[in-house]
Structure 1
Amino acid sequence: MRSDIYTRVTAEIMAALEHGAGEWRAPWFHDGAHAARPTNVASGKRYRGINTVALWVAAMTSGYSDGLWGTYRQWQAAGAQVRKGERSTTVVLWKQIASREETKAEDDGKDDGGRARMVARAFSVFNLAQVDGYERPLTPCLPESERLAHAEDFIANLGIRTVFGGSEAFYRPSVDTVFMPEFAQFRDAASFYGVWLHEHGHASGAKHRLDRDLSGRFGSAAYAVEECCVEILSGLVLADLGIAHHPRPDHAAYIASWLKVMAADPRAIFTAAGKAQQAADWMHAQQPVPMPLSDTEETVTARLIV
């Protein structure tokens, strides 16, 4: 029965959380192509905190339209050259180091209760617009042949408008619309449909649908519970559709990223799972013909993505 599948999927997600889910990363490709997403050219990682703000201001002041940044040496390593006379922007890297007392304790083989401390190191970075000779590496494109017709039909039957383009995935309540990167930007089909279902999960909670309100119990953590809810939902429906019969590592890692916010209420994850099942049931209720779980598994076994 579908409820048994949901119980198993939720249990597997919980087990993954208990054993350490790892670090979550967006399942579609980011190349820092927009100034609003400052990204380091060497690591491919997004800048965070005050560094993001500093690079936003620098891009706005100088009219940079690209979000790719790097130090002088990083650009050299990438085969590019910072143009003479270009002014840099300062970013800060915080690093944890041992205190003198802790270092001395280690040398003496004794534990003097030393504490780790944080130090800041400043770096000068340059925008892509300030260098010559850099070519973006080709981004792998997911071929259209990987699309899954039964999943497309399932989501279409939900009747929620989707706009494709850009490099962010989100649901905008004011226009009741889901926004998604293009299919070709995703690492695999399961990632694409998982994210698409995730955003439709947010849409399911709209007032004219399930009217999902978590603010009463969870207060400021309501958004975290909502994110966990729709990510669990994504795993449940992917299993229903035969796209992934077990939760992908992405699901547990994403949920783990929100659990810190919900640490004060250990029952929050179970509430999220219950709301996820309610949303999954709503999605199935929108289908013109109920989908027998066994038939679904048989028809897509050849294209199963695990």
Structure 2
Amino acid sequence: MRSDRLVAILLMLQRRERVTAAEVAAELEISERTARRDLDALGMAGLPVYSVQGRGGGWRLLGGARIDLSGLTAQEAQALFVVAGPAAAATPEVRAALRKLVRALPESFRDHAEAAASSLVVDSWRRGSERVDTRPPRFVEVLQNAVIQRVQVALGYIDAAGRETERLVHPLGIVSTGASWYLIAGTDAGQRTFRIDRVSAVTVTDDAAIRPADFDLADSWRRIAEDAAHRAVVEVCGTCAPEGIDFLRTALGDNLSLGEIGADGRVDVTIHGPSEYGLAGHLAGLVEWLDISSPPGVREHLARIGAALVQRYGA
């Protein structure tokens, strides 16, 4: 979505005296190298964007120029609101700029622009570090477009037992946790959450989707995440070295609770999951920082996993 980023960078340049590659990278969650390439591309495209070298440098708009973003096409406006909408990980300044922009858009496609802004939630708590592969799975784009256009879709879906089913759903929003992507949708049985990597086929219909008037994607996802945590039946207790906390957050999200910090600097942790074996397998790669004290079953599974790894990969 490079075009989306370029328009978002233009908004940043218009609301600030200057921007640095580091600021662009942090706000748009890209690398500094990509940010520099995008900033250079704006100037090469003929826009009045120039760089200033040395201390206090960065990129600026020549002479405080203003770019007429109200001249965006419907597709460009929709793309911009997807990348920096209120439901995404945008700063308050970007959201304020978007509120001003939407008032300048032609009335004929304001609704789609605003729908795009509320079509995606990025769960930054679960997302964690850049080590997580954030590439979206197949069908994310077509499903998000169905959310924005507010039309029903027929899904081919593979459930947890491996059975493939067909379902007609009313798309309400997309959630990205970095490692996983989800579709929240209305069905005949009520609101449901679908893992997009289990979607095997999508057919977009011409029938209007039913969207509850009070639906809020961020609030809905928060409730779903809380319910999932409460359904977990195994509780693991232990301590973690400070430098491993971010890795645990990335791997466990809301299934991790932090406690007190001990005299040795280690942090008390409580972890919830559906089974002892499943948790042991999930935590095996974190033993460099993690010390599990209970339950005994998880410790035994970890020991067996460690022995198997040594047997297969040891010298």
Judging by fraction of residues, say which structure has more strand: 2
Greater relative contact order structure (CA < 8 Å, 6+ sep): 1
